[in-house]
């Protein structure tokens, strides 16, 4: 009896020891991930910036245009080269795209046009750099901007050529920058890959989403991608909302760094104009008026 109880006591001690070891391993792994995330933040936080934009917008209904209005936006951007080339989400930087995501369009008789009147890159130091839009990609939800003047010194940036790939359940590091109320402080968080979309192109889906325009890193410090909006066309009767659409029409995903790099190579030095709406078709020319009937000839007078 005593021997049996002794064996049970030994088994219990061993079980407790194994549980403690497993718990310690989990804690150490979590600590390792936190250390890696802190290193990523320390190296790349300066490349995550705020981009302020001012728009002049006009809404027209059934051909009748309202007065111009001014709207502003402040979005997250990631600097991707030392000259200051910065990538942001086209969706967040385009009132027209947001308007269309709510189900409005020309087929509804409502149209919104917008002109970008001011762009500034706000660095983590608080310095503001006047900037210009140089390239847009609707397919990838990307807008590229450059400082209007070459910076006096190279800016901190994320090298998209040094990229890594992700698989489902891989742990990732998200970098962000908070808003004005938080002093636009750099922010960092750990997350996991919920899914990898393979068609029509590769996208990584973070379990907890992320801010559009913010970078996503592998734990080894390599850039994995930048957050963009993946959207499907919507109509006024769909599940669209003023804040975007629900999961069946819109999803925040990380676009792989290599795809962004290929597009960035096309970014020119000069600014591009805002896309202009197609001109309205000219009204049909009025039909020609029928010719007046000829007056009957006067009867000939008889000869005398």
**pLDDT: is 102 or 136 the higher one?**
136
Provide CB contacts within 8 A for 291, sequence distance 6+: none
| SS3 annotation, 136-158 | EECCCCEEEEEECCCCCCCCCCC
> Regarding predicted confidence, which is higher, 12 or 214?
214
Using CA atoms, how far apart are residues 238 and 41, in angstroms rounded to an integer?
40
Q: Residue 47 gets which letter from DSSP?
A: G
Position 74 in a domain: yes
The total of structural domains in the chain comes to: 1
Residues 265 and 136: their CA atoms lie apart, in Å, by: 12
Checking if the pLDDT of 161 tops 60, the result is yes
In a domain, 120, yes or no: yes
In the prediction, which pLDDT does 168 show? 98
Q: Is residue 6 part of a domain?
A: no
Bigger pLDDT: 6 vs 156: 156
Residue 109 lies in a domain: yes
Residue 202, judged by CB atoms within 10 A of its CB (0-12, 13-18, 19+), counts as middle
Least confident of 49-58, 66-75, 205-214: 66-75
The answer to whether residue 175 sits within a structural domain is yes
Q: 3-class SS at 118?
A: strand
How far apart CA 206 and CA 196 sit, in angstroms, is 9
Give residue 278's pLDDT band: very low, low, confident or very high (50, 70, 90): very low
Q: Tell which phi-psi region holds residue 205, choosing left (phi > 0), alpha (psi between -120 and 50) or beta.
A: beta
What's the mean pLDDT in 53-82? 88
Of 49-53, 121-125, 246-250, 287-291, the range with the lowest mean pLDDT is 287-291
* pLDDT greater than 60 at residue 171: yes
Length of the chain: 304
Would you state the pLDDT for residue 97? 82
CA dihedral 55, 268, 176, 153 (to 10 degrees): -110
What predicted TM-score, i.e. pTM, was given to this entire model?
A: 0.77
Mean pLDDT in residue range 115-131? 96
In a domain, residue 105? The reply is yes
pLDDT, mean of residues 72-85: 97
Share of the chain above pLDDT 90, in %: 60
Residue spans of alpha helices (H) in the chain: 2-44, 95-101, 257-264
Cis amide leading into 211 (omega within 30): no
In a domain, residue 283? The reply is no
**CATH number assigned to the domain comprising residue 187:** 2.40.10.120
- The answer to which of 110-124, 264-278, 281-295 has the lowest mean pLDDT is 281-295
Express each pLDDT in 198-247 by its tens digit.
Answer: 999 999 999 999 999 999 999 999 999 999 999 887 655 444 444 443 45
Give the number of other CB atoms < 10 A from CB of residue 190: 15
- Residues 99 and 158: beta-carbon distance below 8 Å: no
Contact (Cβ atoms closer than 8 angstroms) between residue 190 and residue 33: yes
Domain that holds residue 168: 47-264
Name the average pLDDT for the chain: 82
251-261: average pLDDT:
97
In a domain, 94, yes or no: yes
Span 113-120, mean pLDDT?
93
Per-residue pLDDT at 269: 84
What 3-state class would DSSP assign to 282? coil
Can you tell me whether residue 135 is helix, strand or coil? strand
282 vs 151: which has the higher pLDDT: 151
User: How many angstroms separate the CA atoms of 86 and 49, rounded?
Assistant: 9
H or E element, residue 177: strand 171-177
Cβ burial, residue 238 (10 Å; 0-12/13-18/19+): middle
Give the Å distances, CA to CA, from 198 to 166, 168, 201, 204, 206: 12, 12, 5, 9, 15
């Amino acid at each position: 009896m005593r021997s049996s109880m002794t064996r049970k006591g030994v088994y219990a001690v061993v079980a407790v020891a194994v549980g403690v070891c497993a718990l310690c391993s989990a804690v150490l792994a979590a600590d390792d991930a936190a250390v890696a995330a802190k290193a990523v933040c320390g190296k790349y936080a300066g490349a995550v910036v705020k981009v302020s934009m001012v728009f002049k917008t006009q809404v027209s209904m059934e051909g009748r245009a309202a007065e111009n209005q001014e709207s502003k936006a402040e979005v997250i951007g990631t600097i991707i080269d030392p000259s200051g080339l910065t990538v942001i989400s086209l969706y967040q930087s385009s009132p027209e795209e947001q308007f269309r995501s709510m189900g409005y369009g020309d087929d509804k008789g409502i149209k919104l046009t917008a002109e970008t009147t001011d762009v500034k890159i706000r660095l983590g130091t608080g310095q503001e750099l006047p900037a210009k839009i140089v390239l847009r990609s609707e397919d990838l939800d990307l807008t590229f901007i450059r400082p209007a003047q070459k910076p006096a010194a190279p800016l901190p940036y994320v090298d998209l050529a040094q990229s890594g790939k992700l698989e489902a359940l891989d742990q990732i590091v998200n970098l962000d920058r908070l808003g004005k109320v938080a002093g636009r402080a750099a922010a960092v968080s750990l997350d996991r890959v919920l899914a990898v979309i393979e068609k029509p192109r590769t996208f990584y889906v973070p379990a907890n989403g992320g801010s559009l325009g913010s970078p996503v890193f592998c734990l080894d410090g390599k850039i994995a991608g930048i957050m963009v909006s993946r959207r499907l066309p919507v109509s006024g009767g769909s599940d669209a909302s003023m804040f975007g659409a629900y999961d069946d029409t819109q999803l925040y995903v990380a676009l792989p760094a290599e795809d962004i790099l290929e597009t960035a190579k096309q970014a020119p030095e000069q600014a591009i104009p805002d896309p202009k709406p197609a001109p309205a078709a000219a009204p049909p020319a009025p039909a020609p008026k029928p010719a007046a009937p000829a007056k009957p000839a006067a009867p000939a007078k008889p000869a005398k």
